[in-house]
Amino acid sequence: MAEKIIYAMYDDDDVLKDGAKKLVAKGVKVSEVFSPFPIHGIDPIIGVQNTRLGIMAFLYAITGTMLATIAMRYFMVTDWPMNIGGKPNNTYLDNILAFIPVTFEFTVLCAAHGMALTYFLRNKILPGLPASNPDPRTTDDRFVMEFRMSENSKFTEEELTSLIQTTGYVELDQKEVK
């Protein structure tokens, strides 16, 4: 089924933000916003949930802490208890101070790389993937709001267009997608 998408282009982030606020108040669903830089405060207006990547980072971090602890305990206590100057590693706790630096580094390593990888996958950005911004200018100085007709079924196309008209856009475009 073909779907109609309306793109409204703005040349200022504040104009777009005010426009979005006005439209949302009238019950319009802003499906997506494309911008060349983060527009602060747009997320709650158009209903974008805050990311949970922070929680993921924490989970990756404690995974790193645990892996480092388990591995070092095995290497230095179980498999080959190293005895340096009569100070053997009888238990992990005996010598834990020496293991702190590596534990910390490995925690950071896992948290940073785990989070970066999740970020790439969740954003669907990977080397070679095609870009999906509607206009090349949205990575320069233009800001685009996307309205999917399927998400705005209570308005007709004309009604929606006339509402968008009040927001001070600079260009209006529409596209059919399958």
| Interactions with other proteins, residue window 75-94 (CB under 8 A) | 75-76, 79-80, 82, 84
Instruction: For the segment 53-72, give every residue that binds other proteins (CB under 8 A).
Output: 53-54, 57, 61, 71-72
Question: Smallest distance, Å, CB 2 to other proteins?
Answer: 22
Residue 42 interacting with other proteins (CB under 8 A): yes
List the one residue from 156, 170, 172, 173 that touches other proteins (CB under 8 A).
Answer: 170
Q: Binding-site residue total for other proteins (CB under 8 A)?
A: 76
Residue 111 interacting with other proteins (CB under 8 A): yes
* Beta bridge mates, 84: 87
List the one residue from 1, 25, 136, 178 that touches other proteins (CB under 8 A).
Answer: 136
Residue 15 interacting with other proteins (CB under 8 A): yes
**Helix 13-25 to helix 157-165 angle, to the nearest 10 degrees?**
130
Nearest of 95, 97, 65, 63 to residue 77 by alpha carbon: 95
Q: What single-letter DSSP state applies at residue 123?
A: H
Contact 33, 42 (CB under 8 A): yes
Q: Return d(Cα 140, Cα 55) in angstroms, integer.
A: 32
Residue 122 interacting with other proteins (CB under 8 A): yes
List the one residue from 139, 150, 162, 174 that touches other proteins (CB under 8 A).
Answer: 139
* 1/130 with CB nearer other proteins: 130
List the one residue from 5, 6, 19, 163 that touches other proteins (CB under 8 A).
Answer: 19
List the one residue from 120, 150, 162, 172 that touches other proteins (CB under 8 A).
Answer: 120
Contact 178, 2 (CB under 8 A): yes
Q: Return d(Cα 51, Cα 103) in angstroms, integer.
A: 27
Q: Return d(Cα 142, Cα 140) in angstroms, integer.
A: 6
List the one residue from 1, 86, 101, 153 that touches other proteins (CB under 8 A).
Answer: 101
Nearest of 96, 98, 102, 109 to residue 63 by alpha carbon: 109
